[in-house]
Amino acid sequence: MTQIKNPLELYKLLKKSNCRECRLPSCMAFAVAVIQGQKQLADCPYIDRETLQALGGGIVAGRSSREDEQQQVLARLKQEAGQIDFPAAAARLGVQLRDGRLGINCLGKDFWIDSVGDMWSECHNNPWVLIPLLNYIIHGKGRKLSGEWVAFGELSGAADWNRFFSRRCEEAMGQLADAHAELIFEILHLFGANPAAGVTNADQSLVIFPLPGLPMLINYWAPEDHFASKLNILFDRTATDNLTVESIYLLGRGLVEMFRGLIVKHSRDGKLF
């Protein structure tokens, strides 16, 4: 019996059509779910009988850690990025090309990616941010922004990810804003956020650019009387033309993780809550 130890190995055996007939948003998500024991390999309607028999009917070896899974995904993306025509990508995305490296501006800082997918920046290379950056280079179409703001769940293909985004990005960022309102909005301004006057009636309404073609509109309503606080994150209608839904979700998670680290470092008592 052949044993599979990580999602990338299993992903290579799948059709890679992202058909969603397994009720997951992508073949990579299905591979991760099988490794974690949440799905059976036979749940894929397109897996061939020979593969099922070789894997013992869907039995795989072990469960990868989150860090292992990130490294596997990064390895695949770096390989794909290395096959990109960099001059064409620079023209497509409207970004810098210098000494054979693409320069992508993320929250006011330049990240440089070379022909083998390695990356340099003044900032810490957080995997939650690196994965979306590489996906942006590979999949971004460089479309002109529409100016129409929509919720994450309204983006093409985002329905299956909406619950995760709401809980782990919007609710998590809202909790940080409730506990450290002054500090978190100061951090946002340091990363180039600009007021978005007149777009919503929120107490705070700021636009940031985690990637050149992917603005986020962060709206926050502070708690008042009997009303709880609320935070939502809106996207330009063209967001999924420039980044996959999974990467948009990861980018939101990355911002939350970054804010958590900065709050612990710079808050008066060094605590999140």
What is the pTM (predicted TM-score) of this model? 0.73
Question: b vs e for 106-129, b when ≥16 Cβ sit within 10 Å of the residue's Cβ?
Answer: bbeebbbbbeebebebeeeeebbb
Considering the chain, what percentage of its residues have pLDDT values greater than 70?
90
Looking at per-residue pLDDT, the higher value among 254 and 273 belongs to 254
> In the listed set 48, 64, 80, which residue is the last one of a domain according to the structure?
64
At residue 86, the pLDDT reads 94
What single-letter DSSP state applies at residue 23? S
Type of residue found at 160? D
State the virtual CA torsion across 147, 89, 130, 273 in degrees, nearest 10. -10
Predicted confidence (pLDDT) at residue 228 exceeds the cutoff of 90: yes
Residue 164 belongs to domain spanning: 149-266
Residues 170 and 233 occupy one common structural domain = yes
Instruction: Examine the pLDDT at 44 and tell me if it is beyond 50.
Output: yes
Residue 19 has a pLDDT of 85
pLDDT of residue 65: 53
Flag whether 272 is in a domain.
no
pLDDT, average across residues 55-81: 68
Domain contains 176: yes
Q: How many domains does the chain have?
A: 3
Which pLDDT tens digit goes with each residue over 93-152?
999 999 999 999 888 888 899 888 888 877 655 656 778 888 999 989 998 999 999 999
Which of 139, 158, 188 finishes a domain? 139
Report the pLDDT value the prediction gives residue 149, as an integer from 0 to 100: 96
CATH code (residue 36): 1.10.15.40
Contact between residue 231 and residue 218 where contact means Cβ atoms under 8 Å apart? yes
The reply to whether 271 falls in a domain is no
* Paired strand residues for 46: none
Q: Per residue in 178-201, pLDDT tens?
A: 999 999 999 999 889 999 978 889
For residues 173 and 253, membership in a common domain is answered with: yes
The burial class, CB within 10 Å (0-12 / 13-18 / 19+), for 240 is buried
Of 114, 139, 164, the domain-final residue: 139
What is the rounded average pLDDT for all residues in the chain?
85
pLDDT band at 59 (very low <50, low <70, confident <90, very high): low
Please check whether residue 2 lies inside any domain of the structure: no
Round to whole Å and give the CA distance between 67 and 73. Answer: 10
CA 1 to chain centre: 35
Query: Could you give the residue ranges of the DSSP H alpha helices within the chain?
Result: 7-11, 27-35, 49-54, 66-81, 86-93, 127-139, 162-165, 172-179, 181-190, 239-242, 245-266
Q: What is the distance between the alpha carbons of residues 266 and 165, in angstroms, rounded to a whole number?
A: 26
16-41: pLDDT as tens digits: 888 888 878 788 888 887 877 777 88
Supply 198's token pair: 């007149």
